[in-house]
Structure formats: structure tokens, C-alpha cells
Amino acid sequence: MHIQKDALQSVNTAGLDRHEAEFAFLADRLTADGVDVEALVGDLADFQVAIPSWALGAGGTRFGRFSFHGEPGSLEQKIDDVGVLHALTRAAGAVSLHIPWDTPTDYAAVKERAAGHGLSFDAINSNTFQDQAGAARSYKHGSLSATDEAVRRQAIDHNLEVIEIGGRLGSKSLTVWLADGTTFPGQRNFQRSLTQTEDSLRQIYAGMPADWKLYIEYKPYEPNFYSTVIQDWGTSFMLANACGERAYTLVDLGHHLPNSNIEQIVSTLMLKGKLGGFHFNDSKYGDDDLTVGSIKPYALFLIFTELVFGMRNNPQNPDPAWMIDASHNVKDPLEDLVQSLEAIREAYAKALLVDQESLAAAQADHDVVTCQELLQDAYRTDVRPLLQCARLNRGGALHPLRAYRQLGVRETLIRERGKNTVATGL
Ligand SMILES: [Mn+2]
């Protein structure tokens, strides 16, 4: 389905007066504080986040999966869903595919469909954490780190095939996340596993076109519960350095042990020019993949403050590839993604409001109280009128969630696709 412009405009009309009053009030205040409001709104509108194809269906846990009606049953329908999100939010201008779940059959048709929604293809994801039908070897005991050379070969070849598929769609980067690790002490030799992983990644890197980037994701535990081969940012950073200058670390917010200082990790990686990709989600306990900003919005703001500092001060770091990596078992996946997109832009807007000059001065004076006040003043600002303005300027919805419901998007999808469709993926 496509969101019709006229329909969206008529839904927007209802709240327009109130929005304009709220925007004028905030813009006056910010302008008096020396903020260039127009530039700020432009930065917000430009901030685009990729939607992973696997977030469009209801997720599941190891205990069960409860389907959400009208889920996309094909790659084309997944692209349509991201198109709906982008039409409403104007913040989801890219899609991130997963192979083999999303292997296209008709490349030209898939590209045309994405272009029709104004979408590009961002980082493509390989999968060596599941056995695929008909595969000669099993990843039960590892993939890129496997003891058996034939298993490693199969996993490397899969990644090379993913690069080839991504290349045909216009993708320019590969994200590798490994489930490799052990569940019991003594199960494998740490040094051999790491050496073999490095060797495998170097072979994948060597097979990438010259304008591609490799993102190496890390995660401390799960599905293995004693050790993970790429357990933390340091291991990822070391492997990226071993591969070459177009290999980078990818930070996934949920892939840290409780209370990790993620903003400091982000800061260090950007200083070293090695923050390549970023996956948004939120968590209470572990890799919970909850809606962005639903649990720890202040931590998200602090992370964004470091991202903004890095984007302004670290030309050695490329623009990170932004992606939402969340899944939900109880919400409408599209509504969940709208909430995540809103939380991301909200945190970004607040981070842009941090008065960096005054902060540097307060830091130099060891005025700890003022340092905290400067951060919290930005955090406490209700930036929603700015986000609304950024969306309206690009033809999006004033209130994306409200519009989604008023336009009856889910009902239309159910009518078009049927009730009991199940999205491919987890
Ligand atoms: Mn991730």
C-alpha cells in the first residue's frame, strides 16, 4: 500500500494550529539562546535511519511467537511497509536486508519498488547463526570461528554471496554478527577461535569491492552463555584494525553488560575513526530489543551527545550507518518502529541543543554543577515541535502514530494480505 498525500494532509490539518503555536514559542526561546532553529530543523530532517527487514513482523522469544495480522509475506511487502513508515515519519529512508531471508528473485523489480517509496538499501546482513535448508555443513559449533575448515569456508562463501547480492541492490556495506562462542568452560580454545575468526574476516574483507565497508558487531553473550568470540568493542576494534581501513566496529545498544558506559565507548571509537555502524534499541536486562527510548531515554541522550560531538569533531570517522535493531512480541511492529524513530530523533535533537562551548568552558573551570545543568537543560527541552516541523517540511505526518491509526493502515494491510500471514525471519 501507499499512503496518499491528500489523505495525509487532511489528517495533518486537525493539529496544525496547535503545532504552529507550540513551534513559535519554542523557536523564540531557542533563538534568544543563540540557536539557529532553521539549521537545527534541517539537521533533524536529514537524519535517516535504516529499518531492518526483520523488524516488520512480530518478533518472538524462545518460548513462542505471536503473529501480528497483516504481516509482510514477501520482500516486496516488507519494502512497502518501510515505505509506509517513511511516508509518515520521513525518517526511515533506507532498508537493511538480511540474507537468506530476503534474497531477491527479481532485482530490477525490487529496486524499482524501493525507489518508488524513496528508499535506498543500507548495510546488508549475513546469517551464519542458523543452518539453512540444504546447507552442506552445520553452524552448531560455530561459523567464522569453527574448528572445521570446511564450515569456515561455507560461512566465508555465504558472506561473499551476501556482498554480491547487496551490490546488485546498491548496498555499500556488510554487517557481520556472529553467534559463535561457547556455553561451557573448556568447550573451545579462546585463542584458536579468535585467530580463526580474524582469518575468516580478513578473507571476507578481501572479497569486498573497494567502495564497501565491513561492520563488525559484538555481543557479550547469547545464544552462547559462557563466551562469545567477539564479545566486546575492544575485540571488534582489534579485528577491524586487522582487516583494514574500511572495516569498522558496530555498536548495538543492547549488546552490552548492564550499566556499561556506552557513550564512552562511542566516543573512543569515533576518536579513532572506527565507529561504522549503530543499532538502536532499548533494554532493561540484556539484549531485550525493546522500543528505542522506552526504558532509558536519558542514557540514549548521553550517547547521542557523544555522537553529535564526534560528528562535529572527528572527520576521521565516517557517517555511521544508523539502523533500528528491535523486535516486538506484543505491539504492532509498524507502530513500534514509529515510536523508535521518534525517540531517536528526539534524543538527537536534544543532543544538538547541548551548548558545547559553555560545556567546554565549565569543564575547564571544573564547574561540575554547570556541566550537569548544561546537559540537563538540553535534555529537559520539549523538542517535539521541532520534530513535527522537520516532518511537515518533508511531507510527513504531524503525528505519525495518530495518522497511522486514522488512516487505518493495519486494517488495509490485513485486507490486502490476509490475517494469518507470517513475516520471514526470526
Ligand atoms: Mn544488532
pLDDT average, residue stretch 253-282: 98
235 CA to centre of ligand 1 in angstroms: 16
At 126-135, the pLDDT tens digits run: 999 999 999 9
What is the pTM (predicted TM-score) of this model? 0.97
What's the pLDDT band for 425 if we cut at 50, 70, 90?
low
Interval between CA 410 and ligand 1 midpoint (Å): 26
Distance 252 CA to ligand 1 centre (A): 5
* Average pLDDT of span 17-42: 98
Q: How far apart are CA 36 and CA 101, in angstroms?
A: 44
Q: What confidence score (pLDDT) does residue 267 get?
A: 98
21: CA distance to ligand 1 center in Å?
39
- Measured in Å, residue 65 CA sits from the centre of ligand 1 at 20
Q: Confidence class of residue 64 from pLDDT cuts 50, 70 and 90?
A: confident
**Spacing, Cα 33 to ligand 1 middle (Å):** 38
Asked if pLDDT for residue 261 goes beyond 70, the answer is: yes
Q: pLDDT tens digit string along 331-343?
A: 999 999 999 999 9
Least Cα distance to 125 among 62, 176, 49 occurs for 176
What distance in angstroms lies between residue 52's CA and the mean position of ligand 1's atoms? 10
Q: pLDDT digit string (tens) for 360-400? A: 999 999 999 999 999 999 999 999 999 999 999 999 999 99
C-alpha cell at 229: 568470540
Ligand 1 centroid, distance to 415 Cα (angstroms): 32
> Is the confidence at residue 426, as pLDDT, over 70?
no
Distance 277 CA to ligand 1 centre (A): 9
- Cα(112) to ligand 1 centroid in Å equals 27
**In this prediction, what percent of the chain has a pLDDT beyond 70?**
99
Q: With the C-alpha atoms ordered 397, 401, 405, 410, is the resulting torsion angle positive or negative?
A: positive
Rounded to an integer, the average pLDDT of 232-241 is 98
- How far does residue 207's CA lie from ligand 1's centre (Å)? 23
Question: What SS3 state is found at 225?
Answer: coil
Cα(293) to centroid of ligand 1, in Å? Answer: 16
Average pLDDT over residues 309-329: 95
- Residue 88, pLDDT above cutoff 90: yes
The pLDDT, as a whole number, for residue 257 is 97
C-beta atoms surrounding 323 within 10 Å: 26
Question: How many whole angstroms from 114 Cα to the centroid of ligand 1?
Answer: 23
- Going from the Cα of 325 to the center of ligand 1, the distance in angstroms, rounded, reads 5
Considering Cα of 187, then 192, then 195, then 198, what sign does the dihedral take? negative
pLDDT category, 67, cuts 50, 70, 90? confident
C-alpha cell at 2: 501507499
